[in-house]
Amino acid sequence: MMERDGFVTFGSDPRVLRWANAAYQRTNKLTAVDGVLDAQLRHQQTWFVGVDTLDNTSDGTVGDVQFLGPWDVPKLPLHRAQISIVYAGYPQKDVDESEANHRYRVKRRAAHVDGLLPVGPEKRRFVHEPHAYILGLPLNDVSAAPTVVWKGSHHIMKRALVNAIGDKMPADVDITDVYQAARREVFERCEMVPITCKVGESFLLDRFALHGTECWDSTHKPVKEGRMIAFLRPEFPNSRDWLG
């Protein structure tokens, strides 16, 4: 599944459930601190970006709960997990957001490959975060605004990016045009699939998989705490390893 589709989902696992419950409780305590939520709210307060929010250890432990699960991933030190919280109405247009960017977020679910960061006034993209994988762990049972992934997109994106970078260091190559062309090919050829996991379940994305977030539409009722997912995206110490 992973090789073919670029993602795989894992069924309920008691180890993952214990960790998710611990992370949920800790997240609620951390975000209750004045200013923490406001600092990372975007799109008219419909998305908490949550970068480095969870204070897990480098092996993923939260409190006294170890980070264990059914996945088989490279053994790398873990960063503080991102806690992505999406609220009813996502995405609303921020005042400083262009019409084109907002339209892309709505129509294309803000589809992206992680780690390709815009640099400078012209927002040219470079590989500044060579993630090894993307592991998602839901912290509450809210089906609205799930992560979406374009099935098989990792093959297209990897081929284009690896060819563009060649024998150079990834961070030294402007991959903007190649990246955008590959995304267009993905939209034409690949099916967008929602990943609707519950607490205790998890999903793994290939680092080259094009993915995004579904809009919170009117068929889902508002939930005060929003849809909460913890994401772990450790980086390779040698960025050439990112090329595979």
Is 202 part of a structural domain of the chain?
A: yes
Q: Residues 105-129: pLDDT tens digits?
A: 999 999 999 999 999 999 999 999 9
Is 42 part of a structural domain of the chain?
A: yes
Confidence of residue 140 (pLDDT cuts 50, 70, 90): very high
Please state the rounded mean pLDDT for residues 235-243.
Answer: 97
Q: Residues 5-40: pLDDT tens digits?
A: 999 999 999 999 999 999 999 999 999 999 999 999
Give the whole-angstrom CA distance, residue 99 versus residue 109. 14
Is 199 part of a structural domain of the chain?
A: yes
Give the whole-angstrom CA distance, residue 95 versus residue 99. 10
Query: Domain containing 208: what range?
Result: 2-112+128-152+192-236
Confidence of residue 83 (pLDDT cuts 50, 70, 90): very high
Is 183 part of a structural domain of the chain?
A: no
Q: Flag whether pLDDT at 91 surpasses 90.
A: yes
Is 9 part of a structural domain of the chain?
A: yes
- Per DSSP, the residues of 90-151 read PPPPPTTS-HHHHHHHHHSTT-B-TTEEEETTTTEEEE---BS-EEEEESS---SS-EEEET
Is 242 part of a structural domain of the chain?
A: no
Q: Residues 169-204: pLDDT tens digits?
A: 999 999 999 999 999 999 999 999 999 999 999 999
Is 35 part of a structural domain of the chain?
A: yes
Q: Are 151 and 162 in contact (CB under 8 A)?
A: no
Percentage of residues in the chain with pLDDT exceeding 70?
A: 100
Is 98 part of a structural domain of the chain?
A: yes
| Domain CATH code at residue 69 | 2.60.120
Q: Are 168 and 112 in contact (CB under 8 A)?
A: no
Kindly give the residue spans of alpha helices, DSSP state H, lying in the chain: 2-5, 14-31, 36-39, 99-107, 153-165, 176-189
Give the whole-angstrom CA distance, residue 127 versus residue 234. 14
Please state the rounded mean pLDDT for residues 221-234.
Answer: 97
Nearest to 82 by CA among 127, 12, 27: 27
Q: What is the largest CA-CA distance in the chain?
A: 50
What pLDDT does residue 112 have?
Answer: 98
What pLDDT does residue 207 have?
Answer: 98
Give the whole-angstrom CA distance, residue 30 versus residue 24. 10
Model confidence pTM above 0.75:
yes
Confidence of residue 1 (pLDDT cuts 50, 70, 90): confident
What is the number of domains present in the chain?
A: 1
